[in-house]
Amino acid sequence: MNGANVPENERMGRGKLRIYLGAAPGVGKTYAMLSEAHRRVERGGDCVVGFVEHHGRPRTEVMLHGLEQVPRRTMSYRGADFPEMDVDAVLARGPAMALVDELAHTNVPGSRNAKRWQDVEELLRAGIDVVSTVNIQHLESLGDVVESITGVRQRETVPDEVVRRADQIELVDMSPQALRRRMAHGNVYASDKVDAALSNYFRPGNLTALRELALLWVADRVDEYLREYRGEHDIRSTWQARERIVVGLTGGPEGRTLIRRAARLAEKGAGGEVLAVYIAASDGLTSASPKELAVQRTLVEDLGGTFHHVIGDSVPDALLEFARGVNATQIVLGSSRRKAWQYVFGPGVGATVARDSGPDLDVHIVTHEEVAKGRGLPVARTAARLGRTRITAGWVVGVVLPVLLAVLLTHVDADLGLANDMLLFLSLTVAAALLGGLFPALASAAVGSLLLNYYFAPPLHRLTISDPKNVVAIAVFFGVAVSVASVVDLAARRTHQAARLRAESEILSFLAGSVLRGEHTLDALLERVRETFSMESVALLERASEVEPWKPAGSVGPSPAGRPEDADVDMPIGDHMALALSGRVLPAEDRRVLGAFAAQAAVVLDRQRLVGEAEEARRLAEGNRIRTALLAAVSHDLRTPLASIKASVSSLRSEDVDWSEEDRALLLEGIEEGADRLDHLVGNLLDMSRLQTGTVTPLIREIDLDEVVPMALGGVPEDTVVLDVPETLPMVAVDPGLLERTVANVVENAVKYSPLGEPVLVAASVLGDRVEVRVVDRGPGVPDEAKDRIFAPFQRHGDAPRGAGVGLGLAVARGFAEAMGGTLAAEDTPGGGLTMVLTLRAVTPDRAPHATADDAAGPDGAFGAFGADSPTRTERVDLDPIRQEAGPQ
Bridge partners of 244, per DSSP, are 273
- 840 pLDDT tier (thresholds 50, 70, 90): very high
Q: Rounded distance, CA 877 to CA 772, Å?
A: 12
- In this predicted structure, the answer to whether residue 11 has a pLDDT above a threshold of 50 is no
DSSP string, 565-625: GGSSEEEE-SSSEEEEEESSPPPGGGHHHHHHHHHHHHHHHHHHHHHHHHHHHHHHHHHHH
Answer with the residue of higher pLDDT: 687 or 539.
539
Identify whether 459 is preceded by a cis peptide bond (ω within 30 of 0): yes
Which stretch of 71-75, 508-512, 766-770 has the lowest confidence by average pLDDT? 508-512
Compute how many other C-beta atoms are within 10 angstroms of the C-beta atom of residue 464: 10
* Strand stretches in 242-346, DSSP E: 244-249, 273-280, 306-311, 330-334
For the cut 80, the answer to whether the pLDDT of residue 325 exceeds it is no
- Here the contacts of 456-461 (C-beta below 8 Å, separation 24 or greater) are 456/409, 456/418, 456/421, 457/418
Distance CA 881, CA 869 (A): 10
Residue 277 has pLDDT above 80, yes or no: yes
Q: Tell how strand 732-734 and strand 701-703 pair up.
A: antiparallel
Q: Name the band, by pLDDT with cuts 50, 70 and 90, for residue 20.
A: very high
Mean pLDDT computed over 257-263: 88
Mean pLDDT across the stretch 527-550? Answer: 84
Contact (CB, 8 A) for 698 and 820:
yes
When comparing pLDDT for 547 and 853, which is higher?
Answer: 547
Weakest-pLDDT range from 56-60, 368-372, 516-520: 516-520
Specify the pLDDT at position 775: 92
Whether residue 340 is predicted with pLDDT greater than 70 in this model: the reply is: no
The sheet carrying 721-724 orders its strands as 721-724, 760-767, 770-776, 834-841, 823-828
Q: Which residue has the higher pLDDT, 638 or 314?
A: 314
Is the pLDDT score of 781 beyond 70?
yes
Per-residue pLDDT band for 638 (boundaries 50, 70, 90) equals: low
| Position 854 pLDDT exceeds 80 | no
* Mean pLDDT (whole number) for 327-342: 77
| pLDDT given at position 19 | 93
pLDDT tens column, 197-248: 777 777 788 888 888 888 878 877 776 666 666 666 666 555 555 678 999 8
Alpha helices for 713-858 (secondary structure H): 736-753, 809-819, 853-856
Q: Is 663 left (phi over 0), alpha (psi -120 to 50) or beta?
A: alpha
Average pLDDT over residues 685-712: 76
**Angstrom distance (rounded) from CA 138 to CA 873:** 17
CA-to-CA separations, 829 to 240, 582, 720, 748, 878, in angstroms, rounded: 52, 60, 17, 17, 20
* pLDDT score, position 880: 36
SS in 3 state form for 42-57?
A: HCCCCEEEEECCCCCC
Assign 566 a pLDDT band (cuts: 50, 70, 90). confident
Please tell me the least confidently modeled range out of 216-220, 666-670, 858-862: 858-862
**Residue 556 pLDDT greater than 80, yes or no:** yes
Q: Give residue 614's pLDDT.
A: 85
Comparing 253 with 403, the larger pLDDT belongs to 403
The tens digit of pLDDT for each residue in 100-147 reads 999 989 998 888 888 999 999 999 999 999 999 998 888 888 877 888
Q: Is the pLDDT of residue 345 over 60?
A: no
Going 232 to 236 to 237 to 241, the CA torsion angle's sign is positive
pLDDT value of position 864: 32
Residues 103 and 117: beta-carbon distance below 8 Å = yes
Assess whether pLDDT exceeds 80 at residue 810: yes
pLDDT for 229: 64
User: What three-state secondary structure class fits 842?
Assistant: strand
Phi-psi region of 760 (alpha: psi -120 to 50; beta: other; left: phi over 0): beta
Taking residues 452-472, what's their average pLDDT? 73
Q: What is the mean pLDDT of the chain?
A: 76
The dihedral sign for the CA sequence 178, 31, 864, 146: negative
- Determine the Cα–Cα distance for residues 215 and 221; give it in Å rounded to an integer: 10
DSSP category for residue 735 = -
Tell me: pLDDT of 518 over 70: no
User: Crossing angle of helices 418-436/468-517, nearest 10°?
Assistant: 20
Q: What is the mean pLDDT of residues 687-704?
A: 72
For 412-427, what is each residue's pLDDT tens digit? 766 677 778 788 888 8
Between 630 and 444, name the one with better pLDDT: 444
Q: How far apart are CA 270 and CA 878, in angstroms?
A: 43
The answer to whether 263 and 234 are in contact (CB under 8 A) is no
CA 302 to chain CA centroid, Å, is 15
Helices 143-150, 204-232: crossing angle, 10 deg rounding: 160
Please state the rounded mean pLDDT for residues 476-485.
75
pLDDT beyond 80 at 169: yes
- Please give the span between the terminal C-alpha atoms of the chain, in angstroms, as a whole number: 34
Buried/exposed code over 618-654 (b: 16+ C-beta within 10 A; e: otherwise): eeeeebeebeeebeebbeebbeebeebbeebeebeee
Characterize the bridge pairing of strands 17-22 and 168-172. parallel
* Mean pLDDT (whole number) for 557-563: 86
Regarding pTM above 0.85, the answer is no
